[in-house]
Amino acid sequence: MRKINRAVKIRIYPNKEQITQIEKTIGCSRFLYNRMLADKIRHYQEEKKMLKNTPAGYKKEYPWLKEVDSLALANVQLNLEGAFRKFFQKPGVGFPHYKSKKHLRKSYTTNMVNGNICLQGRFLKLPKMQPIKIKLHRMIPEGWKLKAVTVSREPSGKYFASLLFDCENQTAEKRQAEKFLGIDFAMHGMCVFSTGERAGYPMFYRNAEKKLAREQRKLSRCEKGSRNYQKQKKKVALYHEKIKNQRKDFQHKLSHSLAEDYDAVCVEDLNLKGIAGGLHFGKGIQDNGYGQFLSMLGYKLEERGKYLIKVDRYFASSKICSVCGHKKKELALSERTYLCECGNRMDRDVNAAVNILKEGKRIYKKCA
């Protein structure tokens, strides 16, 4: 049985001393990343060769780097090398950029070496600091080995630790699919099913938009750096965090329900970034988080030995009649009801979902 990585995110409650150490480690990691990147750029401009620099080479010049976890600094080097590797290997990935001090979400990663990280009941032991109080919402299964921890601070000021475990793959064996479902992306309600039902996503961001705008106006009136500014900034961040948590909760529950009820789910392989930018639907697409939902659905189906079948994005699911198979030459986005010469009259999105279901079944039979 092959090994896989599983992550568990938990809330941590550091005291003042621990917060200072966490913030110091985050700051040192950011500084080292930027300095190493600047040195690589300068060396290449002068010598036309890539500089192989390491964190150890900077500790003499900056002795305060010794005050933080050395493994966190080692991960900085790995992250920078990974950023350059992606830049050279993947055409769409941009050149590595400097990390800003003003970035809202901050984090660092450290690795497990000789028991330097461990869970001790309701506490988490991390290098260079005393055990931190945690809230463990679920028991860690026996046999899971802790590999690494990413400590992060959210814009709301809350601290989290993402625990990465090495464990045996518990994925069920693939079985014959009998129950199929087609899903079509929809701007309102997130998606539509081939059964005729809608996901019914409540559009959490849209509903909270007025309240959020009011709080952001209050923030803009505060003097930057003042105590009231910091309080209002945290209030705005908490609103955004609540919306994000509501969205994730809805998507986890829906994806779990579909993974339990169906053997194979057929979806379109959409370019959501292109739709958001090209058609100016950015806010709506980011609100419903359809891409994140598909990611959740994919791994939940995989765990159960089921299938997520992706239909080509250029498949004309909206233009084809799901009853007779006739394909329209043109179909305006404003036409929300599909009308066909054969007499078929149905919701445009439901018609598309049925076509995705049929195409998904064809792909499954071809690959089976």
- State the catalytic residues: 184, 268, 349
How many CB atoms within 10 Å of residue 136?
15
CA 28 to CA 32: how far, in whole Å? Answer: 6
CA 211 to CA 224: how far, in whole Å? Answer: 21
Of 4, 35, 270, 287, nearest to 144 (Cα)?
4
Cβ-Cβ contacts under 8 Å for 95 (sequence gap 6 or more): 87
| The two three-digit tokens of residue 59, written as one number | 């500790």
Enclosing H/E stretch for 298 = helix 290-303
CA 105 to CA 83: how far, in whole Å? Answer: 19
Return the C-alpha torsion angle 221, 226, 232, 234, nearest 10: 140
